[in-house]
A and B are shown apart, each in its own frame.
Chain A
């Protein structure tokens, strides 16, 4: 409940009025730097603090000067605060919540008494770019510099122990996107929707209406009140079923082919649309004068937002500085609320003013200073007065006319700059329009339209008429409705000029161009004098427009200053490039949900239930082991084991053209492979680099069944598709069966005995020898059996339809129980294959390995007519091999070198040089030895038993070359 005391501590809260968005019936409490304040639901953090008379919300980036509300629309850096764990929150747009803990950022020791503000005493020694000049020497002190700078110049704090938030993404598809929900945006949405198009309307504010929520339409001659046009527009939009409205949603960027990105809190939208209407409005431009950053200096639109939306008046004695009718609007608005308007300072001649409120204000006794401007905001932590002076005939300030006015609020209403970032991103062109002193879009790519204040149209009536037509044009572009002939013209040039050329009033104190990075007009002049004269260089050197406001407050003024210093026109000076995001976005929203796609086999749950330690292999999750990989390997050697090899790539090739294709893609011979036989094959690319290996079986007359490595399955499928579709596909059909079939390797001396229990097929070696394929029913499921030997033992690869995979797996485990069967994982398989010195493509080979060097010369038939890689392999063979892949055994069986370690040899000077490297290594439980594979120079690799040294943690350890397989070199166990 609101108490009497709350009323006392919210002196700036006005009486209730129409149009406000706060719920006065409820009072909630929050803290700012530990002090409790009341607020109403609907208040922003900043409006509640302003109601309580708090003016200083932050300290500036470099000089730690006190800063207060300036734009009140989320487009300047002055109200950035830390809320709980979240840094850099804009207090002026973040709705306040009960119990919120708000803190000031970048202050030491406190916001009120920030000792770091003493830095400005030394500002003479910290000109623009001073850190580039100062902190480069000595280089070794940089870590200290960096630590100190990070502490002194910074924004909020990121707490690394903050729990991961909930973020997500949504994809939207539509005909027309309208970016901005002011009068022009709503009207364009209506125009498009009436043409039959589906429309998405985005606005960054909590409700639609843009400036109509808090301003008086220009053409209204009535007493100030919230626009009468707005309810009508909102009602029409509400009735229109084709319009979907997204409030609190900022459109962050435009990308090719009308792909847009928008963010609403923790949700990121990715939107594909056929056409876009940019209705992003305009930013009010600050004026550069002495102490223009003092809390209490605010833009006119900011004051109107506070007054009309939140019932908060930020100051009771007001001086309004203007150069157009908008300043008079603000004056009339405030006066109607009973505010004492102390003075209107208008740059223009009296006869240039055509405000409908002029007579009323003058008659009410409001002092008006024509041909005057402001020189300085007086005060230390808040505005206490304004120093003004007359502008003489040559447009210069005449110092003798200086006078001071008492006030606690200075309203700046000098003009507007269109918010054209999105229009710029689409590739549209813009030009400086002298008539209205604005940079306006002059062209945009097909399907992109700019309306309202973003296009320079200021009067609400014109905006509404023009945008409605452009909306229907956008719908027609998207394929809905007829294209209307454009009758409404942009009235930008017909309107009274609303933006002043004067952007900077000279003085002798600090005048800020850029509030984000504390850059003054003198800094800009210095940077230009130092040679950073082009607008893009000036931006990078001074960091103007690179801070949180992203140029909303500073871009236009900087362009004017740059033009003046160089004696260029504004058009010649140009603009900087606008890039996404238009407004700051959290990394969490960009990242979305913390999800990674994984592939699991049909046996996945069984593995988990049986204690498997899973590992990531490509996208697959595979059992690495079930507790003891060495015991699993010994179980295969001595009894029988079962491994899930479902991730193997499985391709079926059908048709008369297959043999010729196999000859082309493999390095060895295929045309003589008879039905029922399986052959190992290596695939190379045309550079002669090993791409993949696996087996291919001749299943029946015109069908072949190929397996590839697990991680290469997708790549090889795409590779084969390319060759088939680019000329080698005659008479061939290729099908990817990787997910259709699951595969298990039943390995070990007892594997035949296990399998015999589950099939009627004769498994005797004579009927089903090594390197053959057979179809058979296993546990009543039709399977393909391949007799292979990757592990070095008698083994059968069982390929079964994935839907029955778990049934077959469990049947095999059950049948094997009496033989002591155990599942084994990838680690045990790696030990087993290494004992046989079988290579793994991608582990033992890399993107430079050819099969001749990788100990696979036996699988390369250079006398074949042609195959992929042959011309390169011929040349490699002719030139001689540079490195060979060979097996090695460590002298000390307890020393297993890590994979990747260097093999070294002393050169003539006794220095060690690298001559090779280890690619695979394991302790072999079967042989009780440390074994591995490595690359060595040919002269060393070709000598069986030759010693060499591996560098392990700085020590040299001896190993010897071994040519034969470490286990069962003659392969007798495979053929049992």
Chain B
């Protein structure tokens, strides 16, 4: 079973976490988007075979939503960090 490092709690089994999909953010001004752009935000994902930044939620633990960089082919977790440190 995969180990994930919660930025608060440390190494935990992946069964303590909920996967939240790849990192995407809600458009700042949705009313300015065309229907195609809105649909793109709602439904289109990059689905890379590479390192991917994605959301995880420590739902059986501290409740933190954080980001993980995980390789989608090898499942190797390169690093995890709080959302606030995403640009650090």
Contact of B42 among A718, A866, A872 (CB under 8 A): A872
CB distance from A864 to the nearest CB of B (A): 11
Kindly specify which of A58-66, A366-374, A719-727 makes contact with the partner chain: A719-727
Kindly provide the distance from the CB of B39 to the nearest chain A CB, expressed in whole angstroms.
Answer: 9
Contact check, A256 vs B2: say whether CB atoms are below 8 A apart.
yes
1/0 contact string of A705-726 vs chain B (CB within 8 Å) = 0000000001000100110011
1/0 per residue, CB under 8 A from B, across A687-698: the answer is 100000000000
Q: Which residue of B lies closest to A257 (CB)?
A: B3
A871–B1 touching, CB < 8 Å: no
* Other-chain residue from B13, B35, B65 in contact with A722 (beta carbon distance below 8 A): B65
State which of B2, B3, B33, B63 has its C-beta within 8 Å of the C-beta of A721. B63
Chain A positions within 8 Å of B59 at CB level = 714, 718
Cβ of B30 under 8 Å from chain A: yes
Distance in Å: Cβ of B55 to nearest Cβ of chain A: 8
Point out the residues of chain A lying under 8 angstroms from B38, CB to CB: 871-872, 875
Question: Does any Cβ of A come within 8 Å of B46's Cβ?
Answer: no
Q: Restricting to B13-39, which residues have a CB under 8 Å from any CB of A?
A: 13, 18, 20, 25-26, 30-31, 33, 35, 38
Q: Which residue of B lies closest to A714 (CB)?
A: B59
In the complex formed, the residue of B with least CB distance to A255 is B1
A726 to B86, CA, bound (A): 11
In the complex, number of A-B residue pairs with CB atoms less than 8 Å apart: 47
- Cα–Cα distance between A898 and B83 once the two chains are bound (Å): 48
For chain A residues 726-745, which have a beta carbon within 8 Å of chain B? 726-727
What is the 8 Å Cβ interface bit string for chain A, positions 838-876, against chain B (1 contact, 0 not)? 000000000000000000000000000010001110010
- Set of chain B residues within 8 Å of A875, measured between Cβ atoms: 35, 38
CA distance A259 to B2 in the complex (A): 8
Which partner residue on chain B sits nearest A726 by CB separation? B83
Q: Looking at the complex, which one of B2, B25, B30, B75 makes contact with A871 (CB distance below 8 Å)?
A: B30
Mask of B51-88 contacts with A, CB within 8 angstroms, 1/0? 00001010100011100000000010000000100000
Asked if B65 contacts A871 (CB within 8 A), the reply is no
Q: Residue B18 contacts which of A256, A259, A718 (CB distance < 8 angstroms)? A: A718
- Complex alpha-carbon distance, A348 and B2, angstroms: 50
- Contact residues in B for A714 (Cβ distance below 8 Å): 59
Contact B26 A686 (CB under 8 A): yes
- Closest A residue to B29 by CB, please name it: A866
Contact: A718 with B57, CB < 8 Å?
A: yes
- Given A718-B18, A721-B63, A727-B25; A870-B30 close (CB under 8 Å): yes
* Contact of A726 with B35 in the complex, beta carbons under 8 Å: no
Report the Cα distance A925→B1, complex, angstroms. Answer: 54
Contacts of B31 in A (CB 8 A): 866, 871
The distance from the CB of A930 to the nearest CB of chain B, in whole angstroms, is 40
CB atoms of A725 and B1 under 8 A apart? no
Residues of B within 8 A of A721 (CB): 57, 63, 65
> From B4, which residue of chain A is reached at the shortest CB distance?
A257
B31 to chain A, nearest CB (A): 7
Closest beta carbon of chain B to A662's beta carbon, Å: 17
Partner of A256, one of B26, B63, B75, B83: B75
User: How close is B9's CB to chain A, nearest CB, in angstroms?
Assistant: 15
Contacts of A687 in B (CB 8 A): 42
> Smallest distance from the beta carbon of A849 to chain B beta carbons, Å?
16
Closest to B65 in A: A725
- Closest partner residue, chain A, to B30 (CB atom): A871
What is B's interface to A at a CB cutoff of 8 Å?
1-3, 13, 18, 20, 25-26, 30-31, 33, 35, 38, 41-42, 55, 57, 59, 63-65, 75, 83
Known pairs A687-B42, A725-B64 / 13 extra A-B pairs, C-beta < 8 Å: A255-B1, A256-B3, A272-B1, A272-B3, A272-B13, A722-B55, A722-B65, A726-B25, A727-B25, A871-B30, A871-B31, A872-B42, A875-B38
Enumerate the 4 nearest inter-chain pairs by beta-carbon distance, A residue then B residue, closest first. A259-B1, A257-B3, A871-B30, A725-B65
